[in-house]
Amino acid sequence: MDDFSRRGFCKNVLAIPLIVSSSVVLGKCSNNRKDAESSLKLSDSELMTSYSEKGESTVKKVGIIICDRWNTCAGGKCLRSLRNREGAFERYKDEEVELVGYTTCGGCPGGNVEYAPEEMKKNGAEIVHLATGFVVGYPPCPYIEHFSKFIPEKYDMEVVIGTHPIPEKYYITHQNLKTWEDPEWKEFLKETLTDRETRLKYN
Ligand code: SF4
């Protein structure tokens, strides 16, 4: 068994070179040459905003770790909210974002969290998002607090709890179960609670 297999994570890790921009319009066609030229110039100048004066890339690179109970998830809600800058991705509303890693925790107790951030960091990730499934599962992940301390300590990366807005159906059930009454939950939910209208869009 090779080192990656022993760690049990390599096959789960996907490097997705997905740049999600709210300012650059891709695939827009024009029959008018002037329109096309000005559109190109605009795109060039907008793209320049992705670089600082020193010429360093300012694209925010992020990785996502999902709860393994949804290990076949295709990432539909996470990617939609990243594109729309909703939920925990609202923080990037004025920035370019590149998703450089996407994987599962590897199953309870989340052994892949020990290694996956390292691969994400090698792809330039500064921030790891623990997907919204960590907080909405039945039960929620019991290791959220540990992971959110471990990753910064071991890899010097920021952790954000959540990805897409909490779907309304999960919100209602957890409210009825009083799952999120402990004070710590206020911090865990602050990026993804959003509002009812937004939660409904992710039902
Ligand atoms: S509950 Fe936590 S440790 Fe268990 S599979 Fe989900 S994210 Fe991983």
- The model carries a pTM of 0.78
Question: Could you tell me what percent of the chain has a pLDDT over 70?
Answer: 72
DSSP assignment of 55-96 equals S-B--EEEEEEE-GGGTT---HHHHHHHHHT-GGGGGGTTS-
**Closest residue by CA, ligand 1 atom 1:** 141
CA distance 93 to 170: 25
Res. 151 pLDDT band, cuts 50 70 90: very high
Res. 184 pLDDT band, cuts 50 70 90: very high
User: What is the distance in A from the centroid of ligand 1 to the CA of 145?
Assistant: 12
Atom number of ligand 1 nearest to Cα 139: 1
Contact 63, 129 (CB under 8 A): yes
Task: Please provide the average confidence, as pLDDT, over all residues in the chain.
Answer: 82
The per-residue pLDDT for 169 is 98
In the chain, the domains with their CATH numbers are 3-22+53-201 (3.40.50)
* 132, pLDDT greater than 70: yes
CA distance 95 to 52: 12
Which residues, at least 6 apart from 144, have a Cβ–Cβ distance to it below 8 Å? 130, 134, 135, 161, 188
Query: What is the average pLDDT across 161-167?
Result: 98
Query: What is the average pLDDT across 84-101?
Result: 97
Give the pairing type, strands 97-104 and 60-66.
parallel
The per-residue pLDDT for 49 is 44
Query: What is the average pLDDT across 115-130?
Result: 98
The per-residue pLDDT for 58 is 83
**Closest residue by CA, ligand 1 atom 4:** 108
User: What is the distance in A from the centroid of ligand 1 to the CA of 25?
Assistant: 37
User: What is the distance in A from the centroid of ligand 1 to the CA of 41?
Assistant: 47
User: What is the distance in A from the centroid of ligand 1 to the CA of 106?
Assistant: 8
User: What is the distance in A from the centroid of ligand 1 to the CA of 3?
Assistant: 23
The per-residue pLDDT for 175 is 97
State pLDDT tens for residues 15-62: 444 555 433 322 233 344 444 444 334 344 344 445 555 556 689 999
Give the Cβ contact number of residue 38 at 10 Å. 12
Pocket of ligand 1 (CB under 6 A): 67-69, 105, 107-110, 134, 137, 141, 143
| pLDDT: which is higher, 65 or 58 | 65
**Closest residue by CA, ligand 1 atom 6:** 67
CA distance 35 to 184: 53
Total residues found in the chain within this entry? 203
